[in-house]
Amino acid sequence: MGGSSGRRRRRLGGAIDTVAFGGILMIVGYIWFTHPRVFSDLWETFMRLVEDQVLQPSQALVVAAYTFLFLVAVRNVLLGAMRAAGGQSNRSVLREFFRAVAYVGIGYFIFQYSGEVLTGSLLVLYSFMTAGILVVIYGAMAYAVEKRAPSAS
């Protein structure tokens, strides 16, 4: 019996991964549609960075970045809900929700940077600190969930 349900969960996981990939393609398409110069702005910013020029990305690139992160966060919440409804492991559901929180946090910091509330250095610092804190909390929660789950033997 357990083998059949395991195969079903793997198939469901593969289907959810396909939905996730399609979601990213739709988000990239949306960003490209609403910010047609996003790729050229990104390239120009990268080239200025390579040439050791002062890095100040265009406002359109910053807006595209936080819009992208917010949309990816929404996608991750939906994926987490799909994984939970499909009986995927609690760890995979947690992972999706923590990723969403990280994307929203970093997107918010980019938004603050665009309004000149944060400097570039603080944007990087806060982003790394947020990611680090979330990784630690996720690790602790995933450990607690795994420890509490009944063993398969």
**Each residue of 4-37: pLDDT tens digit?**
555 655 666 688 889 999 999 999 999 999 999 9
Domain limits at 11?
2-148
Q: Within a domain: residue 92?
A: yes
How much of the chain exceeds pLDDT 90, in percent? 46
Provide the number of structural domains found in the chain: 1
Q: Within a domain: residue 94?
A: yes
Q: Within a domain: residue 114?
A: yes
pTM score: 0.79
Q: Within a domain: residue 153?
A: no
Q: Within a domain: residue 137?
A: yes
Q: Per-residue pLDDT tens for 93-105?
A: 999 999 999 999 9
134 exposure class (CB count in 10 Å sphere: 0-12, 13-18, 19+):
middle
Task: Decide if pLDDT at 1 tops 60.
Answer: no
Question: What is the pLDDT at residue 149?
Answer: 63
**Mean pLDDT of all residues in 68-90:** 92
Question: What is the pLDDT at residue 153?
Answer: 45
Q: Within a domain: residue 81?
A: yes
Q: How far is CA 148 from CA 36, 85, 139, 143, 151, in A?
A: 49, 20, 14, 8, 9
Q: Within a domain: residue 138?
A: yes
Q: Which of 120, 95, 98, 96 is nearest to 109 (CA)?
A: 120
The C-alpha atoms of residue 140 and residue 68 are separated, in whole angstroms, by 28
Q: Within a domain: residue 139?
A: yes
